[in-house]
Structure 1
Amino acid sequence: MTPRKHLSLVLFLAALCLNAGSQTPINNFSTVSNLTLSGGTSTQSVVSHARSYNSVNPTTGYTVKYNNTSNVNLVDFTMSGKTYIRYKNFDTVILRRVANAWEPTGGNKQMVYCQGPNSIDNGSYQIPMPVGFPVAASSNYMQKVMKDSYLNRGVPNLFLNDSTDDKVYNNIERADFVILSGVSTNDTMFAGFVIAERGGNNSFKMAAITAIDASGNPTAFGKVITVNSWSFGNTLFSMSSVIMRKDVADNTLRPYTHSNSQSVKSLFVRFADLGIHRQQKIYGYALMGTDVTATTSAQLLNVNSNTYFPRTTDANRGGFDLAGTPGVFHTNQVLAGHYLNLNVDVNNCTPVLGWTDPEASQVKEYRIEKSEDQQLFTEISVVRAGSALNFTDKKFTATSFYRVKAVMHDGESYYSTTVMATNRCSMVQISAYPNPARESITVSLGSGSHPSQVSVLSLQGQLVNRVAVSESTEKMQLDISKLNAGGYMISVSYKDQAPVTTAFIKM
């Protein structure tokens, strides 16, 4: 399996409104590339479509190479100071097709776009693509690409169907993304769906699936919302694309057309945006073009109605280039379902982390994260699957918080509980004298301890005075003449360990 390279892409995060009902741009995110897919590496000699265009020659033999080296997956993103991780992918995608008179179906036409070269080489007739071939049962390539969470593959013009010229037109009225077990949460503001689009400039409609039958078909929906194009965030990455097409009579996908570089952008739709309430189970969502007029469950189920689902959807209302759908994301511990239990023991002044995980067989790696304030966590190590589930932090100097992030083979991830380790071995011994004192007090900060500041606090923890000191300071004198009589605390902060305190009495 090809090693995975991490691309940390941090962009400017604008001030965001978090009121329910507004979708949120994703501007601060991490992607993972170099994912290798099972069966994805494939070299195919195929004849292009008879109506190929945009530098793909019609009815021409090409060698298409799915190189399977850079399948791009969204791992997590940060929004308003919170990190969101993947909770679950979709179990199935169902396309609701309705044939126009000009496109009889049979018209189960399959069209997908894949990241490809900047131009088509009509000298060698080779088309290299850095993505995996979407191996799919019954040649359901569109469903496969949409269900997978790889952002450099997708479906062009998902709801476009307004022309007798079927160049890039589909016959799809509704696309259902289904989670068979359903999910629910206590906090609908911090769990939701990531949706990505090539171009990031098309609006669409969306409704939560609130009930399904035994076969996984939706039977009820939440409110229908319109997601506007301006809701998409900054560019995740840009790519040129090759659009591949399979008609009913074809055996596989064939080169069809080429698209110059376009950006891929994403947004976050929270459960609250979709009208979902606390602990209400949701089974995924349905996507539609913006010309759909259906508002009730009965109307949404009636995809054959030309009233609710017009068959004249133009590019402005249906030209949605959906990228692979990354699934359900949530903040740490918002959604239940994983039980990664973490413990820490401090042995000989060194913390040893150990964890248990019932789903270890499905995990690719465990990422160890560390924080000194329980807010900002930094990855410090990676433990590969199959290794012992423990880690020793040999760079332990201060009281620290730890958590473990499990990353599964399909890109889903989840966190452990957070644990704290206190480094009592390296704590500096400080002293203050004379004690009690009236005018001034001398504070011994410790030899070679690298202090940064000295604070005087009330016994209730309120700051009275603070003085910055150089790292080489070992002893200092504080003026306490203006303090009221009573008890106080001196807290000394250090560069590489937790603060140390001592008490004194002002006479």
Structure 2
Amino acid sequence: MSNPQLPRSFQMPARRGVGLCIGFITGVLVSGSAMGAGQISTLNLSERRATPFSYEVDGVEYLWGQGNNQYLESFSLDGQIYDFGLSADRVEIRRDDIEGVASGEPCGVFVQSLDYSQATRTQAADFPADPNGSGNCDVEAMLASRIINRGAVDVFSNTAPDAKNIERIDYLFSYGASAPLLESGMEQVGHLASEKSGNNPVKMAAILALDEAGNPASYGPLVLIGASGCVDPAICYGITDLMHSYSMLQNNPNAPQSFPVETERSMESVGMAFVSLQALGLSPGQRYYGVSLFADDVDSTNHNLLDPTSFPDNTSDDYIVVGDDADIYGGLSGYFAGAALNEVAGSVFLDANGNGQPDDGEAGISNVSIILYSDENGNGLIDEGVDQPLGDP
């Protein structure tokens, strides 16, 4: 649809970082706590009715979509509110088959459970169905979606009983995203790592460049997100106020794969950590292309981060349970920003060289108004009659 407006007005959904370089007015976060950085404890959710889906395996009927899908809208950290900003354009899983251990696209999934009996398993959220109709899960779509009451089990484990061949998860912004222009904003924008119970470490790195195929071509430093309970200056999961009864399901670790079946049940809390752009080693105004998650046994000295076949093929957190590894929540593919960044000021300029920074010789653009719209359906477009302007331009 077209959106007629004054020629010097920019229209955009209320999702930060879309096509404009804006200097943000921000404060500086200060914490005197000895606790580790990034530990999140309070979440704000929204809910929408899930879509029913069912299948039967070995006489047990699996009923999905019998409750609500939950979405993380904001969280609190160090007295600040952080709001959902923008989801990644796509999520890519990089796999490396291990002969006799894992091949194809094995799926392990956990989901909020509502009820169970000898003959049925009743799940709250949508089933992440493979669009090909094989019965397998679409793990990439599950991690790309905003639904948080489901996720992937033992993601990086290369050890039975829940062996996988997943070596890296890429959350990609195809056209890039720009860090805040001011140093004071770098701690207030970032990405989330979330793990069931917060007891399995992972590593995260910013994607600094993409190759011609749209795959990561360069990384920033690896950042460890440790198990809950770490102390400053380490980053680790906080145990949040969100707890679910979970059903864990798994299909065949070797191809072909079909519908997953329940392997265990538990009651666990959501562990979650905020990793700021500053912690990821980015600079003010720097353009980057998302983040990748790695197992905690990957390091840039002994492994080529661009080549998942160079990663260890025996990954497992056996000190917890044999074959255990990180249980990664869906719904967190994008970035979150401090509420202070909702107040914007600065200048709009012609970014001739595309570096996201106002350089000498790049003309400023005057008399520009910015109209923010609520993006009700999250599609990144302004839908007439649905998305409404926020405040006065």
Q: Mark yes or no: TM-score above 0.5.
A: yes
Kept in 1: contact 2:128–2:137 (CA 8 A): no
- State how 1:207-222 maps to structure 2 within 5 Å: 207-222=205-220
Q: Give me the whole-angstrom Cα distance separating, in 1, the residues matched to 2:49 and 2:218.
A: 37
Which amino acid is the alignment partner of residue 173 of structure 1? E
SS of the residue 1:145 aligns to: helix
**Structure label with greater radius of gyration:** 1
Query: Which residue of structure 2 aligns with residue 363 of structure 1?
Result: 376
Contact 2:225 2:273 in 1 (8 A): no
1:299 correspondence with 2:304? yes
Which residue of structure 2 aligns with residue 41 of structure 1?
52
CA–CA distance in 1 between the matches of 2:114 and 2:315?
A: 30
Is the CA contact (8 Å cut-off) linking 2:198 and 2:272 kept in structure 1?
yes
Task: For residue 17 of structure 1, report the CA deviation from its aligned partner.
Answer: 5.5
Match of 2:338 among 331, 338, 341: 331
1:80 aligned partner: 78
Match of 1:320 in 2: 326
1:233 lines up with 2:241 in the alignment = no
In the alignment of these two chains, the number of paired residues is 314
Q: Paired residue for 1:27?
A: 41
Could you list the per-position Cα deviations for residues 3-42 of structure 1 after superposition, in whole angstroms to 9, with x for gaps in the alignment?
A: xxxxxxxxxxxx94599xx641112331123x135xx321
In structure 2, list runs of 5 or more residues that go unmatched.
Answer: 1-29, 229-235, 345-368, 379-383
1:388, CA displacement in angstroms?
9.7
Q: Which runs of 5+ in 1 are unaligned?
A: 1-14, 48-59, 338-354, 366-384, 391-403, 405-415, 420-507
Residue in 1 that maps onto 2:276: 270
**Residue 358 (structure 1) shift:** 6.9
**Residues 46, 71 of structure 2: 8 Å contact kept:** yes
C-alpha contact 2:43 2:240 (8 A) present in aligned 1? no
- Please show how residues 23-422 of structure 1 align to structure 2 within 5 Å: 23-33=37-47, 35-37=48-50, 40-44=51-55, 46-47=56-57, 60-103=58-101, 105=103, 107-117=104-114, 120-122=116-118, 125-138=119-132, 139=136, 141-161=138-158, 163=159, 166-184=160-178, 185-186=180-181, 187-230=185-228, 231-247=236-252, 248-250=255-257, 252-295=258-301, 299-305=304-310, 309-315=311-317, 319-326=325-332, 327-332=334-339, 334=341, 362-363=375-376, 386=385, 389=388, 404=390
For residues 162-183 of structure 1, give each alpha carbon's deviation from its aligned partner in whole angstroms, at most 9, with x where no partner exists: x3xx321211111111121221
Counterpart AA for 2:270: V
Q: Contact between 1:112 and 1:145, CA under 8 Å: does it hold in 2? A: no
Q: Write the distance in 1 (CA, Å) between the matches of 2:278 and 2:113.
A: 37
Q: Contact 2:43/2:75 (CA < 8 Å) preserved in 1?
A: yes
Cα separation, partners in 2 of 1:356 and 1:41, compared to 1, 3 Å: farther
Q: CA offset at residue 253 of structure 1?
A: 2.2
The structure where strand makes up a greater share of residues is 1
Structure 2: which amino acid aligns with 1:314? S
Question: RMSD over aligned Cα, in angstroms?
Answer: 3.2
Give TM-score, length-normalised by structure 2.
0.71
Query: Structure 1 174/336 Cα, relative in aligned 2: closer, same or farther at 3 Å?
Result: farther
Question: In 1, distance between residues paired with 2:376 and 2:88?
Answer: 18
1:325 deviates by 3.9
In structure 1, how many angstroms separate the alpha carbons of the residues matched to 2:193 and 2:387? 36
- For 1:325 and 1:131, locate their aligned partners in 2 and report how far apart those are by CA, in whole Å: 12
SS in 1 for 2:304: helix
Give, as a single letter, the amino acid of the residue that structure 1 aligns with 2:168: R
CA distance in 2, matches of 1:234, 1:269: 15
Contact conserved, 2:72 with 2:331, CA < 8 A, in 1? no
Q: Aligned AA for 1:200?
A: G
C-alpha distance in structure 1 between counterparts of 2:386 and 2:331, whole Å: 31
